[in-house]
Amino acid sequence: MKKQPMHVFHALYLSRRPAVAFAIVGLFWGCFAAYVPQIKAGLDVNDATFGLLLLCNALGLVSSMVVAPRLDSALGARGLQFSSVAFALSFLMLGFATDAVSFGVAMVVVGAASGLTDVLMNARVSELEQQHRQPLMNANHGMFSVGYAVAAISSGVAREAQIAPVSAFAAVAGLIFILMIFLYMPPRDVAPGAATGGRYPLKPIIVCGLIVLVAFMIEAAVETWSALHIERSLQGRAAEGAMGPAMLGLTMALGRFSGQAVSQIFSETKVIIAATLVAIAGAVLAALAPAPLWAYIGFGILGLGISVIGPLGLALVGRKVPDHLRTEAISRVAVLGFAGFFLAPALMGFVSEIYGLRIAFLGAAGLALAAIPLTLLLRRI
């Protein structure tokens, strides 16, 4: 265990370029999550409508699913740079959105940029795993959590200082433009015979994709609605609300950086099942919390549990398919999994509008249970 930090640092060194992309995505969503209560108030819409607006991300995601492989081939080494620039510009669009229509349009662009970036950065990590013959996925997803936590905490302080969303979003966009310089990374050549289509096993891709989908849905639900839950359900201040997503990001970073050590001791499927039970306990505690402190503890426990499920699902599919199909298979699983970031906020909004946020988070705990039978099914494939 004492060697684990060095192992993590070595993994991040080997995958340093896509690791920057993961941090960029974390910075974006951490800042956005902290400002959700203020954004929603400015739009003057109810929970259901806001959830529907968040679902506009899915339209952009579908677009990125179609164009990602072609853009990856066309842009080559500058693919991650292009997607990061699009990400930064979409953040600026969100900052200037003043009504439901402009916000919905901006979220479509956010979905396209986020989906493209997610697919490319996971594909690059997959290629590096294949090249270096060692796991790198957990460490890179940990960088997302670090970026997310840093942005959420900083944005909470910014909200307390009465800094408007447009100013905060512009600052993060500027930082993304700077970090984009480090994302020049040529993709590995595809081995002969690694054709697209139905030549790879569908069952592990679908099952692993559903496991990742469940994990990312829970993660997205907390990212988007935890600050509002603390501020509205528990009467917390702006900085206290921002600590909800920040706590999630911090514990997810801890869980992911240590996840590689845990998965070396136990099988991935056992880790996923145990982590699911931990996440459920955290979601229930956060839902029933009588005060912000208990919500922080709940979101922290949830973060520890949910942190390793998505990366392990992505890693598992890479072991279930032939090497020459690995990158494409992980890309397909990533696309299916990242749909959770767009579906969960909308579902939470609809449930919250009818039953309240406490019931919505209890529903998230129930959804997490689905990861267990899916993992047991994966053992038989």
Higher pLDDT, 91 or 259: 91
**Mean pLDDT computed over every residue of the chain:** 86
Which CATH number goes with the domain that contains 21?
1.20.1250.20
- Alpha-carbon distance of 366 to 364, in angstroms, equals 5
Q: 142 Cβ partners below 8 Å, 6+ apart?
A: 8, 252, 253, 256, 257, 259, 307
Q: 125 Cβ partners below 8 Å, 6+ apart?
A: 15, 18, 136, 137, 140
In a domain, 374, yes or no: yes
**Between 137-160 and 238-265, two packed helices, what is the crossing angle to 10 degrees?**
170
Q: Which of 168-182, 235-249, 261-275, 316-330 has the lowest mean pLDDT?
A: 316-330
| Of 132, 166, 142, nearest in space to 19 by CA | 142
Band of pLDDT at residue 191, cut at 50, 70 and 90: low
- Alpha-carbon distance of 223 to 299, in angstroms, equals 10
| Residue 300 pLDDT exceeds 60 | yes
| Of 92, 243, 224, 232, nearest in space to 156 by CA | 243
CA dihedral 269, 272, 276, 282 (to 10 degrees): 150
List pLDDT tens digits, range 216-226.
Answer: 999 888 888 89
Q: What is the pLDDT of residue 194?
A: 44
In a domain, 98, yes or no: yes
In a domain, 193, yes or no: no
Band of pLDDT at residue 195, cut at 50, 70 and 90: very low
Band of pLDDT at residue 260, cut at 50, 70 and 90: low
List pLDDT tens digits, range 35-79.
Answer: 988 999 899 888 888 888 888 887 887 777 667 777 877 888 888
Average of per-residue pLDDT across 270-280: 94
Cβ pair 224, 349 in contact under 8 A: no
Report the percentage of the chain scoring pLDDT > 70.
93
Q: How far is CA 199 from CA 193, 194, 205, 328, 329, in A?
A: 10, 9, 12, 11, 11
Cβ pair 260, 138 in contact under 8 A: yes
| Residue 350 pLDDT exceeds 50 | yes
Average of per-residue pLDDT across 296-304: 94
Q: What is the pLDDT of residue 224?
A: 83
Q: What is the pLDDT of residue 190?
A: 55
Q: 203 Cβ partners below 8 Å, 6+ apart?
A: 381
Q: 207 Cβ partners below 8 Å, 6+ apart?
A: 374, 377, 378, 381
Band of pLDDT at residue 183, cut at 50, 70 and 90: very high
Residue 228 exposure: Cα atoms within 13 Å on the Cβ side = 28
Higher pLDDT, 134 or 31: 31
Q: Which of 87-91, 197-201, 344-348, 369-373 has the lowest mean pLDDT?
A: 197-201
In a domain, 232, yes or no: yes
In a domain, 243, yes or no: yes
Cβ pair 244, 289 in contact under 8 A: no
In a domain, 355, yes or no: yes
Cβ pair 41, 103 in contact under 8 A: no
| Residue 351 pLDDT exceeds 50 | yes
In a domain, 194, yes or no: no
Q: How many domains does the chain have?
A: 1
Q: Which of 45-49, 90-94, 260-264 has the lowest mean pLDDT?
A: 260-264
Average of per-residue pLDDT across 30-38: 89
Residue 235 falls in which region: left (phi positive, over 0), alpha (psi -120 to 50) or beta: left
Band of pLDDT at residue 264, cut at 50, 70 and 90: low
- Alpha-carbon distance of 126 to 108, in angstroms, equals 27
In a domain, 286, yes or no: yes
pTM here is 0.78
| Of 351, 77, 304, 95, nearest in space to 189 by CA | 77
Q: 138 Cβ partners below 8 Å, 6+ apart?
A: 11, 256, 257, 259, 260, 263, 308, 311, 312, 315
Q: What is the pLDDT of residue 209?
A: 92
Domain ranges, residue 62: 4-188+199-379
List pLDDT tens digits, range 305-340.
Answer: 999 999 888 888 877 887 777 767 877 887 788 778
List pLDDT tens digits, range 95-134.
Answer: 888 899 999 999 999 988 888 888 888 888 888 887 887 7
- Alpha-carbon distance of 372 to 114, in angstroms, equals 28
